[in-house]
A and B are shown apart, each in its own frame.
Chain A
Amino acid sequence: DIQVTQSPSSVSASVGDTVTITCRASQSITSYLNWYQQTPGKAPKLLISAASNLQRGVPSRFSGSGSETDFTLTISNLQPEDFATYYCQQGYSTPPLAFGGGTRVEIK
């Protein structure tokens, strides 16, 4: 089974900052890595698919990159509504449906 590991588990940042979250797969998943955003009390929402494809309506300050085993989610010019928990998920081989442990972006 392919596992995905996120880091850091939490990050403190201020409005306007740039935040980078990484996700590492236990083996190559080509570009099949998805990112989800979960705000408190809400369900996760698909943010980016296939490593870099922004979903409709997602602000351009969000970007994703990477391939094979190493992936990055970058949030530029952090806004108040971006303070949330972010999860990666490998879409290369299921089952199992594997999510990273999550990265909580907190207000500094």
Chain B
Amino acid sequence: QVQLQESGPGLVQPSETLSLTCTVSGGSIRLYYWSWIRQPPGKGLEWIASIYYTGSTNYNPSLKSRVTISLDTSRSQFSLKLSSVTAADTAVYYCARGVYDSSGYVVDPWGQGTPISVSS
């Protein structure tokens, strides 16, 4: 079945740009939405951005000015760049697949998550 695996630096300096990659295996990139979702320590889930396999993108308005999501279908990967990071961006970052079906929009599966700490 489809599996997602995040990769990232673990630690990022304040004001720098965080870069994350999600590798999709066991299934096609086509016909799905691909999202980044984060979870600050002890808090709930926050959607960051999504990209459709056609390249169409959507961003959380609260993060839009700092976020870029992109897709590399040839490598079955999608990526996130978050600029000018601060301690408030410390979180576990998840990548996930989304689909519209008879159940509406469903997020499944999720990657295992990669913890990112912003600190000097």
Contacts and interface: CB of A to CB of B under 8 A. Distances in A.
Contacts of A96: 47, 58, 60-61
A44 B104 contact: no
A43 B103 contact: no
Interface string A24-64: 00000101111010000011111001100101000000000
Given A43-B110, A43-B112, A87-B45, A95 B50 contact: yes
Interface string B40-54: 000011110010000
A17 B31 CA distance: 41
A52 to B, nearest CB: 10
A91 B59 CA distance: 17
Interface of B: 35, 37, 44-47, 50, 58-61, 94, 98, 102-113
Name the prevailing secondary structure of the A interface residues.
loop
A96 B58 CA distance: 8
Nearest to A52: B103
Contact of A91 (B44, B61, B94, B106): B106
A87 B45 CA distance: 8
Interface in A75-108: 87, 89-92, 94-102
Contacts of B59: 95
Name the prevailing secondary structure of the B interface residues.
strand
Q: Which of B46, B103, B106, B113 has the most CB of A within 10 A?
A: B103
A99 B39 CA distance: 12
Nearest to A33: B104
Contacts of A95: 47, 50, 58-60
A53 B103 contact: yes
B44 A34 contact: no
A104 B58 CA distance: 29
24 contacts: A32-B105, A42-B112, A43-B111, A43-B112, A44-B107, A46-B106, A49-B103, A49-B104, A49-B106, A50-B102, A87-B45, A92-B104, A94-B105, A95-B50, A95-B58, A95-B59, A96-B47, A97-B35, A97-B37, A97-B50, A97-B98, A98-B47, A100-B44, A101-B44
